[in-house]
Amino acid sequence: MTLFLLKIIVTVAIVLALSIIAERVSPKWAGLLGGYPLSVAIVLIFIGIQEGEAFAAESAIHTLAGLAANLSIFATYGLMLTLRPNLHWLVCIMLGLTSFFAVGSLLGQIDFTLISAFAFIVSAILVCIFGFKQFAEIKITKAVKLSFRVAFVRAASASFVVLAITGLAKQLGPQMAGVLASFPATVFPMIVIVHVTYGAAPVLATLKHFPIGLGATSIFCLVYALALAPYGLFLGTVISFGVATVYLLGFSAIQQKMRRS
């Protein structure tokens, strides 16, 4: 019961924090931090606690490749809003989820190695960085109050995904559990709420920066798969977060420097 509640508390806190950043700071930083290893790390850490380090390390390899399914949600969502800006958010949700499970089911049948999984997701990220460039920048200028209903929708969906994947990990096996762990459980609810509250433009502005941020999750999964055996779950997780953070901060610093020059 303690582990069950811990999963919910951690997931809820991250979802609410991301939504506040999108409202109070900018969609750009929400997109970048959305690619940080948040929901993926939550799932993989709890899988490691429940099923052991070897199981979690193997799952991380398939999570790495499965991030392409993660990207497919937002590629579909962004494409639909580009073609049909007034498309209802429920339609966008259904199309995005369909894309994830279609791509994820295919990836779940492939026996990836760590090298092939990393090469695959790097290629997918580069394609999406180029494809998402057309999305315009816009800042949310009028924030809405974080009502109980909004908070509940944001947090409940993410908690359900984390609980479902970690609860079924043993039955699914490391390959499929790893692919499903790539589901953007903390970011997707935030994107939907931004869409419902503000419309299509801020969603596209947030998604524009998401592939770059997802590089941090890719780095996390890569280091996590390598570090668990020699360093154990706790230290391996800390090292993985550290390397992912260096990537995200370094990439942001390079971007700022390029803008000034």
Beta strand residue intervals within 103-255, DSSP E: none
- Report which DSSP code applies to 133: G
- The answer to whether the CB of 242 falls within 8 A of the CB of 220 is no
Q: What pLDDT, on the 0 to 100 scale, is given for residue 154?
A: 66
Q: Give me 27's structure tokens.
A: 């969609």
Residue indicated by tokens 């007034």 = 86
Long-range contacts, 113-116 (Cβ 8 Å, 24+): 113/61, 114/61, 114/64, 114/222, 114/225, 114/226, 116/65
Q: For the chain, how far is it from start to end, CA to CA, in angstroms? A: 54
Q: What pLDDT, on the 0 to 100 scale, is given for residue 109?
A: 92
Per-residue pLDDT of the chain (261 residues; tens, 9 = 90+): 577 777 777 777 776 776 666 556 555 565 556 567 877 888 898 899 889 999 999 999 999 999 999 999 999 999 999 888 889 999 999 999 999 999 999 999 999 999 999 999 999 999 999 888 877 666 555 554 555 566 666 677 777 777 888 888 888 899 999 999 999 887 787 788 888 888 888 888 888 878 887 888 999 999 999 999 999 999 999 999 999 888 877 877 776 777 676
> At a CB cut-off of 8 Å and minimum separation 6, what does 193 contact?
19, 150, 153, 154
Q: Which of 204, 236, 196, 232 is nearest to 220 (CA)?
A: 236
**Cα–Cα dist 191/154, whole Å:** 9
Written as one letter, the residue type at 190 is M
Model pTM?
0.83
- Report which DSSP code applies to 86: T
Written as one letter, the residue type at 194 is V
**Cα–Cα dist 75/224, whole Å:** 26
Q: What pLDDT, on the 0 to 100 scale, is given for residue 144?
A: 47
Burial 92-111 (b: 16+ CB within 10 A, else e): bbebbeebbbebbeebbeee
Is residue 197 packed enough to be buried (19+ CB in 10 Å), middle (13-18) or exposed (0-12)? middle
Displacement of CA 243 from its chain's centroid (Å): 17
**Cα–Cα dist 60/32, whole Å:** 21
> At a CB cut-off of 8 Å and minimum separation 6, what does 166 contact?
7, 43, 46, 47, 50
